[in-house]
């Protein structure tokens, strides 16, 4: 059992409230799993400076870095984070404006540099670290522990953005480790959370490995995320990628999948894993249970429905405009 929550704002005025509203949903979702939790946030101003790349990591020998530091400043309070930023900057002198921030078990690095260069420098500087997201707009914060305590580590209430997903985990398919927690983000600005369990993930994993795709964990959900990322990399739309997933994957799932342009939900043919969608002119919200939605603005008059089995629902946002009002809904 796991809990899923997601928010996609149509009204840009809501952006400063993303962390607060998603945090309220996460607190309710803890009832469906409290061994680990995670969030994916799109365009949080504090962790994704405009025009820069952001990567998030777990593990690696990074000491007890705290708060946000950068490679050039030398504040004593940010000493550890500063030292991480310095290490990463030293690994690739072409990187500009490297910063590091510690949010519980997750480390957030930003730089004015291509994301691949930042990722390579981080992995060189921080042996053993696992990259849990990379992109121009996505921040993934996750770890093991009580969701409410994790949200405090992430200072979630202070985070903003135009879209976010959250997950609370009760592990079934792999160990309770930070790396087994959701979201799984394996492609640039892509994020996937899952309630359920895939039953044929090992054979799909082998197929993907043969294509040269590498895995970070033994988790079944990572196979789903790698599959979707592979399809998107081949040029598929989100709708096509998730339709393909329904044809290939067996098992139980409600998936909430997001990218820099899309917010999508799909359930397996049996659809016994719960999902509920609320739409208002201001937002689209997805949750495992209605009670996660009660704190959202306008929920009393929202259109509320349960996604049909094996129907891919996609809400898209045009990448060419920065105005959130361009968000359009489409299902089926």
Choose between 30 and 304: whose C-beta lies nearer to another protein.
304
In angstroms, what is the minimal distance from the CB of 247 to another protein?
17
In angstroms, what is the minimal distance from the CB of 308 to another protein?
7
Q: Is 306 in the site for another protein (CB under 8 A)?
A: yes
Q: List, in sequence order, the alpha helices (H) in the chain.
A: 18-29, 79-91, 115-125, 147-153, 201-210, 220-233, 238-248
Residue from 283, 293, 296, 324 that binds another protein (CB under 8 A)? 293
Q: Is 294 in the site for another protein (CB under 8 A)?
A: yes
Query: CB under 8 Å to 230, separation ≥6 — which residues?
Result: 208, 211, 213
HEC-encoded secondary structure of 36-67: EEEEEEECCCCCCCCCCEEEEEECCCCCCCCE
User: Is residue 191 annotated as part of the catalytic site, yes or no?
Assistant: no
Look at residues 160, 155, 179, 142 and name the one whose alpha carbon lies nearest to residue 38. Answer: 142
DSSP state string for 195-252:
EEEESSHHHHHHHHHHTT---S-S-HHHHHHHHHHHHHHTT--HHHHHHHHHHH--EE
3-state SS, residue 21 = helix
- Crossing angle of helices 115-125 and 79-91, in 10° steps, is 110
Q: Which stretch binds another protein (CB under 8 A): 184-192, 207-215, 223-231, 304-312?
A: 304-312
CA atoms of 183 and 316, how far apart (whole Å): 20
Cis peptide before 20 (omega within 30 of 0): no
Choose between 305 and 319: whose C-beta lies nearer to another protein.
305
Residue from 309, 319, 325, 328 that binds another protein (CB under 8 A)? 309
Residue from 305, 318, 319, 330 that binds another protein (CB under 8 A)? 305
Q: Is 274 in the site for another protein (CB under 8 A)?
A: yes
Total residues in contact with another protein, by rule CB under 8 A? 15
Residue from 272, 281, 318, 322 that binds another protein (CB under 8 A)? 272
Q: Is 213 in the site for another protein (CB under 8 A)?
A: no
Q: Is 303 in the site for another protein (CB under 8 A)?
A: no
Choose between 196 and 274: whose C-beta lies nearer to another protein.
274
Structure tokens at 300: 């009393």
In angstroms, what is the minimal distance from the CB of 49 to another protein?
38
Q: Which stretch binds another protein (CB under 8 A): 212-220, 244-252, 272-280, 320-328?
A: 272-280
CA atoms of 131 and 140, how far apart (whole Å): 10
Choose between 92 and 308: whose C-beta lies nearer to another protein.
308
CA atoms of 68 and 97, how far apart (whole Å): 13
Q: Is 199 in the site for another protein (CB under 8 A)?
A: no
In angstroms, what is the minimal distance from the CB of 291 to another protein?
3
Which among 2, 56, 191, 272 is annotated as catalytic? Answer: 2
Q: Is 109 in the site for another protein (CB under 8 A)?
A: no
Residue from 92, 290, 311, 331 that binds another protein (CB under 8 A)? 290
Interface of this chain with another protein, residues 232 to 271, rule: CB under 8 A: 271
Backbone φ/ψ region at 45: left (φ over 0), alpha (ψ -120 to 50), beta: alpha
Active site (catalytic) residues:
2
Report the interface residues with another protein, using CB under 8 A: 271-272, 274, 276, 289-294, 304-306, 308-309
């Amino acid at each position: 059992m796991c809990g899923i929550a997601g928010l996609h704002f149509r009204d840009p005025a809501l952006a400063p409230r993303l962390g607060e509203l998603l945090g309220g949903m996460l607190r309710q979702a803890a009832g469906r799993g409290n061994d680990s939790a995670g969030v994916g946030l799109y365009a949080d101003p504090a962790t994704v400076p405009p025009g820069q790349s952001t990567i998030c990591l777990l593990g690696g020998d990074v000491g007890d870095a705290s708060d946000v530091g950068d490679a050039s400043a030398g504040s004593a309070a940010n000493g550890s984070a500063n030292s991480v930023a310095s290490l990463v900057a030293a690994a690739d002198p072409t990187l500009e404006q490297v910063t590091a921030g510690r949010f519980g078990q997750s480390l957030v690095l930003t730089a004015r540099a291509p994301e691949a260069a930042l990722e390579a420098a981080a992995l060189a500087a921080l042996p053993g670290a696992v990259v849990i997201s990379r992109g121009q707009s996505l921040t993934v914060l996750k770890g093991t522990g009580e969701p409410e305590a994790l949200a405090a580590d992430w200072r979630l209430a202070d985070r903003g953005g135009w879209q976010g997903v959250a997950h609370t985990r009760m592990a079934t398919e792999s160990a309770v480790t930070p790396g087994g927690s959701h979201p799984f983000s394996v492609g640039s600005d892509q994020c996937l959370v899952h309630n359920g369990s895939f039953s044929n993930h090992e054979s799909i994993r082998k197929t993907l490995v043969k294509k040269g795709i590498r895995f970070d964990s033994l988790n079944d959900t990572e196979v789903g995320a790698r599959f979707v990322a592979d399809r998107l990399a081949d040029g598929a739309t989100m709708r096509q990628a998730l339709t393909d997933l329904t044809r290939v994957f067996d098992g139980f799932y409600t998936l909430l999948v997001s990218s820099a342009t899309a917010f999508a939900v799909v359930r397996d043919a049996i659809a016994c894993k719960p999902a509920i969608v609320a739409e208002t002119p201001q937002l689209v919200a997805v949750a495992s249970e209605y009670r996660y939605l009660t704190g959202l603005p306008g929920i009393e008059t929202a259109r509320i429905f349960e996604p049909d089995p094996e129907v891919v629902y996609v809400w898209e946002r045009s990448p060419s405009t920065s105005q959130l009002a361009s968000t359009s809904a489409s299902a089926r």
